[in-house]
Chain A
Amino acid sequence: MGKTILIAEQSEIIRKGLIKVINSFDMFDNVSELACNANIEASVIKLEPDILVINPLMIGTSLKGWLKEQINGRMKVAAIVYTLFDDEIKEVFDEIIQINDTRLRIKTKLTSLINSKDESKKPAPDDTLSSREKDVVRLLAKGLSNKEISEQLYISPHTVITHRKNITRKLNIKSVAGLIVYAIINEIVLVDDLHNQ
């Protein structure tokens, strides 16, 4: 069955660029675009896209309520992000596409959105890390000790240990060196940010 994606983004450069990248994946039969937020609701009703990619800056207060209703619906919503946002934004969207994501990364994100569409009612699979656990992995990869991590995240050392246990259980990776490789693969940390011992 043909898939549809709708891109809502004001910047023509970004919008056209993203469309070009998405077209090269051959994943969607219909790649539509919107340059302003006036027609978003109507376009979604008309197109029934599988994925909506939207710049969070385009979401005003009225759209916010509407967007919340879309969560857990049949359409997946991804944010296209190139400015700094509060971490809370991650809770609102099914996926975040960063401006500096590689082609492969964008493809992986869109593929997992398409694949998760049919199982959106199921709880999150057990092996995905929470954003807090990702924070811990990121700091571990940078070479911080449990104590330093607890100070940086304002949590108790005991909580850091609990997070580490859960991370090991979820990923089945026990060593810090192994977690570093995992963190790079999943872009939790960039190679340049690694603490070079």
Chain B
Amino acid sequence: MAELIINGQMKLSNIIDKDKRALVLFPRFGIDLGIGDKTVAGLCMQKDIDLQFFLLMVNTFLNPDYFPDKQLKSVDADMLIGYLVESHNFYLEERIPYLQSLIEKFKKSVDHPATAQLEKFFDQYIVEVKDHLAYEDETAFPYMAMISAYKKRSDVPAGQIDYSVGVFEERHDNIQEKLSDLKNLLVKYFPPVNDRYIRIRLLNELIDFEEDLINHARIEDKVLIPVVKQLEQQVKSG
């Protein structure tokens, strides 16, 4: 698929026509659909969204090879954290409950001893995902916001800091791996079930979630970590 680099002059509706994965990004910026023929730049202006930041997020999300080297210096850490927190909320409030409801339906449509184990597997996975997100929301992001505040307004952090983005980088593990296991089990190994469409719906959602998480992790690895490292260095060198 030819990579589509989004620019400010494009209509938002055309972006969705070209790549439906962009749909999940709009709520993260507080954009509701019903956007008419507005361009990206026009809508960002109206909604008071930083255009360059919006483009950076959309393009990094949609293109695995998009590497925003030059723009990194100008990325605002607070905006980035705000965006990531919104993504987490979307996973917790929307994606995960929906997946759970599909697993529940799948379980009801199959009389097979492996279904209970499949559900257990999924439940354990959800606990891991929630732990992963909670760690970022409660430990990593607050630290990053603090560094950013120190840089911007010389807000002196309260108390001793024994954390750095290096710690975050080290323990930033991959949470989509088990999703891929689940997908393989359903595609390759699970025997036929009574309701074949529930399996397809479930797979569709698993594949979307997996891709969303991969793209999300890429933004954290390629944008967030370098941006905060840069901040740390600036703070250290005074």
Contacts and interface: CB of A to CB of B under 8 A. Distances in A.
A182 interface: yes
B74 interface: no
Which secondary structure dominates chain B's binding surface? Answer: helix
Interface string A142-178: 0000000000000000000000000000011111011
Interface stretch (B76-84, B100-108, B114-122): B114-122
B185 A181 contact: yes
A185 interface: yes
B177 A174 contact: yes
A184 B180 contact: no
B114 A174 contact: no
Contacts of A180: 117, 121
Contact of A178 (B112, B113, B121, B191): B121
A186 B112 CA distance: 11
A104 interface: yes
Contact of B185 (A127, A173, A191, A194): A173
B182 A178 contact: yes
B184 A173 contact: yes
Contacts of B188: 127, 171-172
Contacts of B181: 172-175, 177-178
Contact of B124 (A172, A174, A177): A177
Contact of B178 (A175, A184, A185, A191): A175
B66 interface: no
A108 interface: yes
B190 interface: yes
B189 interface: yes
Given A171-B184, A172-B184, A174-B180, A181 B117 contact: yes
Nearest to B112: A185
Interface in A51-105: 104
A168 B189 CA distance: 14
B184 A191 contact: no
Contacts of A175: 121, 177-178, 181
Contacts of A184: 113-114, 117
B129 to A, nearest CB: 13
A190 B114 CA distance: 9
A191 B190 CA distance: 15
A127 B114 CA distance: 20
B175 to A, nearest CB: 11
Interface string B107-137: 0000011101110110011000000000000
Nearest to A186: B189
Nearest to A172: B184
A182 B113 contact: no
B178 A178 contact: yes
21 contacts: A104-B191, A127-B188, A172-B180, A172-B184, A173-B184, A173-B185, A174-B177, A175-B121, A175-B178, A177-B181, A178-B181, A178-B182, A178-B185, A180-B121, A181-B117, A181-B185, A182-B185, A182-B189, A185-B189, A190-B113, A191-B116
Given A175-B121, A177-B125, 17 more contacts: A127-B188, A171-B188, A171-B189, A172-B181, A174-B180, A177-B181, A178-B121, A178-B178, A178-B181, A181-B117, A181-B118, A181-B121, A181-B189, A184-B113, A184-B114, A185-B114, A191-B116
Interface of B: 112-114, 116-118, 120-121, 124-125, 177-178, 180-182, 184-185, 188-191
Interface of A: 104, 108, 127, 171-175, 177-178, 180-182, 184-186, 190-191, 194
